[in-house]
């Protein structure tokens, strides 16, 4: 059985963001990685879960004979 990744408490994330960002500051990759790390979020595992969810969505769309947006397929390829 696969262990589920422990998720941070919702109240932790805003505190982390306040510490690292001001209201008009853009976030760079290093700050984003630090926020995720401090919040206890595994970036790689999160990306894998996102990819699986998107692939399932594509499968659902195909099963319903709906058109899959090319952008969605590109995103999956990047992940």
pLDDT of 28 strictly over 70:
yes
Secondary structure class of 37 (helix, strand, coil): helix
pLDDT of 18 strictly over 90:
no
pLDDT above 90 covers what percent of the chain? Answer: 42
d(CA 25, CA 45): 27
- Give the global pTM: 0.60
More confident position, 3 or 55: 55
Q: What is the pLDDT of residues 46-59, one digit of tens each?
A: 999 999 999 999 99
pLDDT of 40 strictly over 80:
yes
d(CA 26, CA 18): 13
d(CA 69, CA 58): 9
What pLDDT, on a 0 to 100 scale, did the predictor assign at position 34?
86
Domain regions of the chain by residue span: 8-41, 43-79
Cβ atoms of 15 and 1 closer than 8 Å: no
């Amino acid at each position: 059985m696969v262990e589920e990744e422990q998720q941070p408490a919702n109240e932790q994330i805003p505190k982390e963001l306040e510490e690292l960002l001001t209201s008009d500051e853009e976030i760079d990759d290093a700050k984003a990685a630090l926020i995720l790390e401090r919040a206890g979020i595994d970036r790689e595992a999160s990306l894998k879960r996102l990819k699986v969810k998107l692939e399932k969505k594509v499968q659902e769309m195909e099963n319903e004979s709906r058109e899959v947006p090319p952008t969605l397929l590109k995103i999956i390829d990047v992940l």
